[in-house]
Amino acid sequence: MQSVQLENLYSGLILRERKYKQGNAMISPKEFFDFLIRQGIGFFTGVPDSLLKDFCAYVEDNAANNHIIAANEGNAIAIASGFHLATGRFPLVYMQNSGLGNSINPLASLADQDLFSIPILIIVGWRGEPGTEDEPQHVKQGKITLPILETVNIPYAVLPQSQKESEETTSNLLKQMKSESRPVALVVTHDSFEPYTLKEKDTLSYPLTREQSIAFIADSLPETALIVSTTGKTSRELFEYRGNRGQPHARDFLTVGSMGHCSSIALGIASQQPQRDVYCFDGDGALIMHMGSLAVIGAQGQKNFKHIIFNNGSHDSVGGQPTAGFSIDIPKIALACGYRQALRAETEQEVKAAMEKIAASMGPSLLEVRVNKGSRKSLGRPTTTPLENKKAFMEFLHS
């Protein structure tokens, strides 16, 4: 095992050195996709990632019925396993390295050689890669990405950034995947793929953007109310809203990582702060990722829990690939899970009227706001660290 780890690590370092020598070489999403098809990859599933967004966009546009965007990365491993069981062919699962945690259980207890021995090519976006600058939620994940793969005994290689070497490296890894019937992984660094723009299948025409909706809703809340916001652009837009109005950030807990867990954090806070209303600002992709949380929230019946879903039907922060957000009825699901009230709004007037009802109602209650996808190009990021945010938030709670 130790020799395998050392060999993997050495291979990764060599490939990283080659990549830097290649300068600005990049991989064509089309050529890499076509190469994978020739190598026998017949199915694609996963959760989109910003480092893989160009490749994921090409897959979405060209894999036809052989592509499923999963709720979370563990689901993707299971879907890929089902494809192999049904066809005997080889699937690909794509994910950000933060999603490795979601995938560990099915990797270790389903796909592993000691169990069902499922051959899967996993492509992992390496956010927080050591030696590069990235957002704080990716730093730890970047450090432990390769050790996680080694611990789960998954052979891996860091993908070179030239077309020829990327195909050679992938071909060698696929040979091992097929001959040993096991999962293998390609680790992808920043700027590996050439730009590719996702084709818009449906143009949204909702009156509001997510940022406008956040402003309307935050404006309506009393100063005692708390906000727990989900990872990605929702937290970034909330942070800028406070800054633009000269308001303190202490009332808001910005969940800059932990996709899908924002509502559970808010539930934990609401259960211990019953005198304050707790508003969870959530997204459709994050909600779907761990939808079981709705059942727990409904069963708990926390009266001060208010759930706001900004639904644009896309993974907006990592390339705009579609979610199932517009294929499901979120308010009906919430009601079926035990929420006392669940509403939907699209216009400014509807949002404001719905917020009056939400504020006056016993929770748990939910408002789905349907919005257009996209954000300002000038949108910034929080200027405080997660630890500073945590400290200010806790001090506000106990002041």
- Mean pLDDT for the stretch of residues 352-370: 95
How far apart (Å, rounded) are the C-alpha atoms in residues 127 and 111? 24
- Mean pLDDT for the stretch of residues 241-259: 91
**Which band of pLDDT confidence, cut at 50, 70 and 90, is reported for residue 202?**
low
Q: Which helix (H) or strand (E) holds 255?
A: none
Alpha helical stretches, state H, the chain = 2-21, 29-38, 53-62, 73-87, 100-106, 136-151, 163-180, 210-220, 233-244, 262-272, 284-289, 292-300, 330-336, 348-360, 386-397
Q: List all residues 6 or more positions away from 206 whose beta carbon is below 8 Å from its beta carbon.
A: 312, 346, 370, 371, 372
Task: Look up the pTM and report it.
Answer: 0.89
20-26's contacts with Cβ under 8 Å and 24+ in sequence apart are: 22/160, 22/161, 22/162, 24/191, 25/161, 25/162, 25/163, 26/161, 26/191, 26/192, 26/193, 26/194
Domains and CATH numbers, the chain: 2-188 (3.40.50.970), 210-397 (3.40.50.970)
Task: State yes or no: pLDDT of 160 exceeds 80.
Answer: yes
pLDDT of residue 325: 94
| 259 and 98 Cβ atoms separated by less than 8 Å | yes
Query: Residue 320, by phi and psi: left (phi above 0), alpha (psi -120 to 50) or beta?
Result: left
Task: State yes or no: pLDDT of 3 exceeds 60.
Answer: no
| 47 and 70 Cβ atoms separated by less than 8 Å | yes
Tell me phi and psi for residue 228, to 5 degrees. Answer: -115, 115
How far apart (Å, rounded) are the C-alpha atoms in residues 351 and 211? 13
pLDDT for 145-159, tens place per residue? 999 999 999 999 999
- Mean pLDDT for the stretch of residues 66-84: 97
Query: Residue 232, by phi and psi: left (phi above 0), alpha (psi -120 to 50) or beta?
Result: left
pLDDT for 86-96, tens place per residue? 999 999 999 99
